[in-house]
Structure 1
């Protein structure tokens, strides 16, 4: 039986804009109110996904959410026709419009936590949508995320879907952005590394002082229980609160792993040595711990370039490659480090750079744009084939973007009733193209 790691990249939605909604995310705050280019953003994301498919990797796409979210606005008391709702919220409470029009679902690392069948008690692939309660604009995603994932991974012989965790701060869950699965081979049992920002019940553990710790230990433990993971297949490690206060809002901004490689910054973890030793012991076999010294790459440079929000992928040749944003190539210290990394004798043998600046300016790099799903060949055959990226699918999606997306958008444009019509037309066509069924509220 063959085994793969598939990457499912989020399609950037038609309302991609810079409203600065993500407190604690430096790039999001710095670029607030700038004009965005939704068409360029979507095409950049597609080009990166297609390049990975061309390298021989299993690559798919995940549909965006319906935005603006008129239904959430109605829950807050805005009434009338859809166009009247847009007009009222734009005039009286524009911040709610910005939140309900965010295209943040493009960052599918936050969509869910996924445990492969090799790790779970029932031998199925488990999915739990993230509740994302720390940010309102993301907390309204989980219901539609669940519907999309069920339409992609529908065969209950192989896939099991859970509801998002209860919507309470005790159970703040940010999905795969704070979860890394390590293994010797994709088909072998692995160890799932859950990285949390704070513990609700253990007050002795430190907390960040400036920015919120979005993931709780208690949420990570709940996911592990839901997915049927035993004690030998889990390690719970605390993120360093000092780096959270420097803009490291998720673990995937300061660490990334693949198979038996964990690539992380020297300041990534709080008292990490003991837990990393536990990880090494549980994994069995060789574990490559690649720690990047602060003296070579500062936390500031790591955050600005998203050195760790890169993807590490295993190519068909068996070599590993880092998929990095061009921002890493443009930063002298980071570029020098990556050049040196290729000489250190680790499994990482290549670095490939991609332009995803539209996403980077809103606070998400290559790793934010993808959800990783380890599959065997039977499970892969059970995936909805229309969401897998082929040459033909890439051409169709590119034409779809070029037909429906604007090339300039400001937060003020989100009140344009034509934008709502354009978005719904685009998404209705997309659900047919990807054979997803009626997943959006406007279709039901």
Structure 2
């Protein structure tokens, strides 16, 4: 039976605030601050526990090898000799944001009846551009069954994965429509998702053109710091939850969805109620929009939403109105938020039959207990972005990841980069 599985990226032991992501306001604002890798990873574990308690299926993706010595070698430098900015790019833990790992089209949407995943190339940001090799290795291991096809990244054009992709369907196991959101411009900030990449992914996934839509993100959203679509819009089931200023031509998109999805429900937040600034600071739309077993559409939101007056007021009004979103659960992922990623950034949604997935990548409470013990014992308590080349810190990072892989029986990934 097809279910939606959220595969969360475990926050890596090298988690630090180097401020590498241009256009990501939270990342820039916290550049140089002291990060707490252990607390960040434990917050992620607690979010997964909360999802399991809601009855959701939960998976994991593991941290990538750091430092990224292979990438540095391709630039003709070793980690010890690298300039600080190159060292920071090689130590980034940004693969924890699994929403950027790949774009996923479930079997009901594809002409060959397979679930297709295309690994994102992330080439618009140096610190992320080298992630795809290790991501490809993980996904080809996790989804090795014949039910899946895992594609290598699209070349040449910027692709940042599921963070710019939405799916609407009557249920996870029924045919749906897929919406690819791309950027054109955004003032001083780059548009990271290119239309050409989105079209290539749709072709590789063998999607029906009549049930595939390419929507331009609004310039104002990008300029305000919505570096990915999932900062201003998210979809699940029949519900599209979006900010009023998310899309360049919202009317055309909404009409298209209504014509193809029976019972389509639009939840649009007016700029007069929640400004783009408040939406981006609180990461309201970077919440996980999920459907519980009883059919209740639920928002798993960061605690910052409860602490932002305009956002909390909107949520309370919507719940009181019996709107499409019937329940909100708040989770603390502050360490991730400070580096520019909320609950939705931390997960890659895959609609599939769980029995087809390598069980090492699926978790229950007992496995989370084991992972928690590894993190508590081996993850650094603090990381200073200016000291990431310290040999003792590097040794701790390498050993911590190795211990985690051994706990999960995934030692073959140790040399995956």
**TM-score, structure 1 normalization:** 0.92
**Residue of structure 1 in register with 2:167 after alignment:** 181
User: Which residue of 199, 204, 213 corresponds with 2:191?
Assistant: 213
From 242, 251, 255, the equivalent of 2:220 is: 242
1:148 aligns with 2:133: no
Q: Contact (CA 8 Å) 2:164, 2:181: kept in 1 or not? A: yes
Q: Is the CA contact 2:42–2:375 (under 8 Å) kept in the aligned structure 1?
A: yes
Q: Where has structure 1 moved over 4 Å in runs of 4 or more?
A: none
RMSD over aligned Cα atoms: 1.2
Q: Residue in 1 aligned with 2:158?
A: 172
Which piece of structure 1 moves more, 240-249 or 416-425? 416-425
1:162 alignment partner, one of 151, 155, 160: 151
**Whole-angstrom CA distance in 2 between matches of 1:262 and 1:149:** 28
Task: Output the CA distance in 1 between the equivalents of 2:323 and 2:175.
Answer: 22
Structure 2 unpaired stretches of 5+: none
Q: Is 1:58 paired with 2:57?
A: yes
In the alignment, the residues of structure 2 paired with residue 346 and residue 218 of structure 1 have an alpha-carbon distance, to the nearest angstrom, of: 36
Q: What SS does the aligned partner of 1:127 have?
A: strand
Is the CA contact (8 Å cut-off) linking 2:21 and 2:125 kept in structure 1? yes
Residue 169 of structure 2 corresponds to residue 192 of structure 1: no
Residue number in structure 1 paired with 2:263 = 286
Does 1:108 find its partner at 2:98? yes
Match of 1:411 among 368, 377, 385: 385
CA contact (8 A) 1:151 1:436 kept: no
Q: Aligned residue for 2:79?
A: 86
Distance 1:107 1:193 in 2: 20
Cα distance in 2 for partners of 1:399, 1:318 equals 34
> Which secondary structure state, in structure 2, belongs to the residue aligned with residue 97 of structure 1?
helix
Secondary structure in 2 matching 1:301: helix
Unaligned runs of 5+ in 1: 79-84, 199-206
Partner of 1:355: 332
Deviations 1:376-420 (A, max 9, x none): xxx310211122111210111000101111111111221012222
**SS class of match (2:109):** coil
1:263 aligns with 2:241: yes
How many residue pairs get matched? 417
Contact 1:86-1:417 within 8 A present in 2 as well: no
Q: Does the 8 Å contact 2:235/2:289 carry over to 1?
A: yes
Local SS of the residue matching 2:76: coil
Deviation of the 1:437 alpha carbon: 4.4
What is the TM-score when the length of structure 2 is the normalising length?
0.98
Paired residue for 1:400? Answer: 374
SS where residue 246 of structure 2 aligns? coil
Contact preservation (8 Å) 1:196, 1:215: yes
Name the counterpart of 2:361. Answer: 387
Partner Cα distance (2:322, 2:43) in 1: 32
Alpha-carbon displacement from aligned partner over 1:255-303 (angstroms, at most 9, x marks no partner): 01110000000011002201221122122x1111111001100000001
- For each residue in 1:229-270, what CA deviation from the matched residue of structure 2 results, as whole angstroms up to 9, or x when unmatched? 011221111100111011010000000111000000001100
Q: How does 1:310-325 map to 2 (within 5 A)?
A: 310-325=287-302
Q: Distance in 1 between matches of 2:326 and 2:294?
A: 11
Preserved contact between residue 151 and residue 437 of structure 1 (Cα < 8 Å) = no
